[in-house]
Every structure is written in structure tokens, then in C-alpha cells.
């Protein structure tokens, strides 16, 4: 996933991407649980570490998932992740309102709606990262999917 360069924050990207709420108030320890590692000391000492700056891997992770940070409290070690508003704030699907259980394809891989092959490849990389974050091997997942499809078709 090109927007999310650092592997360390892929789990955070996947977590935020899959949330159906508009906001997530989190403690630093909750973020550490999601990423499966300790945050760097700078996250506890410098407000700028939490900036919505996609030139840094952590900022790229939440930005690529469609989120931003707010209300960072270094003393309490808490922050608010807030879904970014798009150009159409009246559209509930764009403001992060609860999605139906039958999601559209672009909810799973938003870049695939583009005609660009590069965007499609990025979407596949996002899918692969999300599967890896869950401990799933992409090749095994594809083989199981193919086997299940053949069983259904019979």
C-alpha cells in the first residue's frame, strides 16, 4: 500500500479503515495494542508526532484510511481519531455513518473504482496488507476462495 509506507502502522490503517463510527477516542496503549508494538518515545513527548502529516508513516496510515487526529492529550495519553469529511458532508456513507451489512465493493477497496491500473494495484496491496495483519497468507486465501467458489458452483 503506497500511502502507508511503514509496515508498523498497517494494522492501525486496517483498524481505522474498518471502523463504522465517525470517531474513536483512544488511549496510546490502545493504539499500541492495535499496532502490536510500543509507540516511539516521541509520540509521548511531541504533539507534532500526531500531526495529520502524510509524509510520516503514522500520519500516512490514518490519512489513507480516511481519518485524522484531533484532541491529542500528551499528559493523559489520549487522542481522538475522527473520520475526515469529504466534499459531500450530507452523504452518510462519506461522513462515516454506520454502514449496512451489505457493503459496496468500493467500501472494501476504494481505489478499485478508478480506471487506473496503478490504483487497482494499490487496492490489491491494501487488501493484502489487511489480510497479512490478520495473519492470512494471500495465496492460501485465494486458493480457499477458489475452492469455495467451485463447491458453490457444483
pLDDT band at 89 (very low <50, low <70, confident <90, very high): very low
Give the pLDDT mean for 69-81. Answer: 96
* C-alpha span between 114 and 106 (Å, rounded): 10
Does 129 or 111 have the greater pLDDT score? 129
What share of the chain in percent tops pLDDT 70? 62
pLDDT value at position 104? Answer: 39
* C-alpha span between 129 and 123 (Å, rounded): 10
pLDDT value at position 30? Answer: 94
On whether the CB atoms of residues 75 and 82 are closer than 8 A, the answer is no
Q: What is the pTM of this model?
A: 0.54
What distance lies between CA 98 and its chain's CA centroid?
16
Length of the chain: 154
* C-alpha span between 88 and 91 (Å, rounded): 6
What share of the chain in percent tops pLDDT 90? 38
pLDDT in tens, 134-149: 777 767 777 777 776 6
Name the grid cell of 119: 490504483
pLDDT in tens, 92-104: 444 343 333 333 3
Amino acid at each position: 500500500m503506497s500511502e502507508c509506507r511503514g509496515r508498523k502502522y498497517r494494522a492501525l490503517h486496517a483498524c481505522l479503515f474498518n471502523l463504522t463510527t465517525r470517531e474513536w477516542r483512544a488511549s496510546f496503549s490502545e493504539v499500541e495494542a492495535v499496532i502490536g508494538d510500543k509507540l516511539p518515545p516521541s509520540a509521548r513527548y511531541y504533539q507534532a508526532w500526531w500531526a495529520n502529516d502524510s509524509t510520516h508513516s503514522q500520519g500516512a496510515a490514518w490519512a489513507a484510511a480516511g481519518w485524522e487526529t484531533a484532541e491529542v492529550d500528551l499528559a493523559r495519553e489520549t487522542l481522538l481519531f475522527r473520520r475526515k469529511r469529504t466534499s459531500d458532508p450530507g452523504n452518510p456513507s462519506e461522513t462515516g455513518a454506520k454502514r449496512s451489512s451489505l457493503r459496496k465493493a468500493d467500501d472494501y477497496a476504494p481505489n478499485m473504482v478508478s480506471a487506473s491500473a496503478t490504483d487497482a494495484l494499490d487496492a490489491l496491496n491494501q487488501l493484502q496488507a489487511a489480510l497479512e495483519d490478520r495473519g492470512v497468507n494471500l495465496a492460501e486465501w485465494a486458493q480457499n476462495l477458489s475452492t469455495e467458489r467451485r463447491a458453490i458452483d457444483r
